[in-house]
Amino acid sequence: MPDTRPRRTFAVISHPDAGKSTLTEALALHARAIHEAGAVHGKGDRRGTVSDWMAMEKARGISITSAALQFAYRDHVVNLVDTPGHSDFSEDTYRVLSAVDAAVMLVDAGKGLEPQTLKLFRVCALRGIPVITVINKWDRPGLSALELMDLIQEKIGLRPTPLTWPVGEAGDFRGVLDRRTGEFVKYTRTAGGATRAPERRMGPGEVEEPDADVWAAAVEEHELLELDGADHVQESFLAGATTPVMFASALQNFGVAQLLDLLLELAPAPGATAGVDGTVRQVTDDFSAFVFKVQSGMNAAHRDRLAYARVVSGSFERGMVVTHAATGRPFATKFAQTVFGRETTSVETAEAGDIIGLVNATALRVGDTVYVGPPIEYPPVPTFAPEHFMTASAGDIGRYKQFRRGIEQLDQEGVVQVLRSDLRGDQNPVLAAVGPMQFEVVEDRMVNEFNTPIRFSRLDYQVARRTDAAGAAALAGIRGVEVLQRSDGTHLALFVDAWRAKTTERDHPDVLLEALPAGGS
Ligand SMILES: Nc1nc2c(ncn2[C@@H]2O[C@H](COP(=O)(O)OP(=O)(O)OP(=O)(O)O)[C@@H](O)[C@H]2O)c(=O)[nH]1
Ligand SMILES: [Mg+2]
């Protein structure tokens, strides 16, 4: 039986440390998908969040890779993807943005808008993804609410339309004014935010000491916003002209219930999607899905490889035979799972909007389409211009086979880009990264999952441009330039610096040297 409940599929994005993983967990906690915050994994003093499962993530308290969660809330099924904030991992975040219908953008009340936030906003605009803004960490001192609204308006050109307004300044979070009903939603703290924070709604006339003064100030600002016309209009939000704003403390579970309700109410349902050739697939058409992430190493006990696919149209049934668009070959989906951080449960059916994990689907790569019925292929996920390069070799010659397998796996997952050339041979692939932390992930996973030490040696290149086979021939032998081939077949010309790229371009006007999108901040 297909599950006909409506779907909401969104990503949580922001600059590093704004509280995405904490919020993700708070949302799941609220939907009663888990019982206690920090219950599943451990990092630092608080025991970590459901979505941060990798050993390195727990040790450092940062997210390195995105994690999907699915849970039921009211009469909906919610698919949520927590993304890493660090710009070194921006490729991962961008892959996720190709698979969701909306984004929840977190802003740290103390820090305002950081460069990475601005960039993510631009990607959302480019992809037409509507954005709900959450001002987080209101329990800590920070900028004023009006200042933050000005920043959003000025820096990203999105008009903020607050749905709630804080009662009490940053660091003195008493609750919020619900701007649509005029009510005061008063919060009560719980120990460490580990359980659902109780909230009480009261009419404007019922607000008492000691909240009366801060309430009056909130009402005044709310009226100012009203005069200014900063009210939510669904069409402008969907068109990417405005962003509804809420105030929260993910750590204290304040504002989390409101956000969930808002997501159901405002975020768009899965819609029709166009393929590369312009063919449009309606959600009610035959099954099709898009692979946006490949991940292994989630379970130390046995080798696992999960291809995360977003169901774009139709219904998925386990066991279904689909066509792999890249090869035209049939592919039997013997095993499929829903994902909850690192927990997976076998799934029988899934609907448009759902994120499923296809198990041991070794043929599937990031960006691939699978379908039944008339052929369809969705646009590929962009890769970014690498700016850091290392040659890699097996630290232990006796373990070369494991080394090779590890590099191949990490390449397929997109942990780094892997480049080769006949000249360099197969033993020393060149690893190319948007940010240097990617190399640390490679090292960590090679040692822990593939049981092989890895040796890096820095290469003196800084700039990469896309070229072709003719370009490779034309540029051979030029100092400060080297052409390598990425595993997807793309030729990349690497240059020691931007100046060398420029002069090469000038001296070889007939050679293709195309700039790639920049990933880092
Ligand atoms: N005071 C306060 N601290 C918070 C709040 N939300 C998160 N934090 C803390 O901020 C730190 C970062 O939280 P995370 O949830 O890991 O942040 P993130 O955005 O997922 O970070 P990355 O994934 O590494 O980009 C942790 O120490 C949290 O406990 C909040 O609302 N208030
Ligand atoms: Mg995180």
Average pLDDT for 281-291: 96
Per DSSP, the residues of 94-139 read HHHHTS-SEEEEEEETTTB--HHHHHHHHHHHHHT--EEEEEE-TT
Q: Is 20 in the pocket of ligand 1 (CB under 6 A)?
A: yes
Ligand 1 pocket check: which of 83, 189, 251 to mutate, most ligand atoms within 8 Å of Cβ? 251
Would the pLDDT of 35 be above 80?
A: no
State the average pLDDT over residues 170-194.
85
Report pLDDT for 384. 84
Q: What is the mean pLDDT of residues 324-353?
A: 85
User: Coil, strand, or helix at residue 477?
Assistant: coil
Rounded CA-CA distance 492/484 in Å is: 5
Min mean pLDDT across 33-42, 65-74, 251-260, 354-363 is at: 33-42
Distance 214 CA to ligand 2 centre (A): 32
In the block, residue with structure tokens 């699915």: 70
Return the number of other C-beta atoms located less than 10 Å from residue 8's C-beta. 23
**With a 6 A CB cut-off, is 38 part of the ligand 1 pocket?**
no
Q: Which ligand is nearest to the CA of 62?
A: 1
Taking a C-beta distance cutoff of 8 angstroms, is the pair 16, 329 a contact? no
Alpha carbon distance 511, 516 (integer Å):
16
Residue 27 Cα to ligand 1 middle (Å): 14
187-227, pLDDT tens digit by residue? 876 665 555 667 889 998 899 989 999 999 999 999 999 99
Residue in 12, 17, 29, 50 to alter for ligand 1 test, most ligand atoms within 8 A of Cβ: 17
Confirm if 492 and 419 have CB atoms less than 8 A apart: yes
Pocket test for ligand 1, best of 12, 21, 40, 134 (most atoms within 8 A of CB): 21
For the cut 80, the answer to whether the pLDDT of residue 130 exceeds it is yes
First to last CA, the chain: 46
- Residue 373 CA to residue 369 CA, distance in Å, equals 13
Region of poorest pLDDT, from 254-268, 338-352, 367-381, 427-441: 338-352
d(CA 381, CA 95): 6
| Residue 37, Ramachandran bin (φ over 0: left; ψ between -120 and 50: alpha; else beta) | beta
Q: What is the mean pLDDT of residues 336-359?
A: 84
- Which two structure tokens, joined as six digits, stand for 248? 């929260």
Contact (CB, 8 A) for 96 and 81: yes
Closest residue to atom 10 of ligand 1, CA basis: 19
User: Does 140 sit in the ligand 1 pocket, CB within 6 Å?
Assistant: yes
**Ligand 2 mean position to 131 CA, how many Å?**
18
Closest C-alpha among 65, 30, 24, 60 to residue 42: 60
484-520 confidence digits (pLDDT tens):
999 989 999 999 999 999 999 999 999 999 998 776 5
Enumerate the H helices of 329-468 as residue ranges.
400-413, 437-449
pLDDT for residue 302: 59
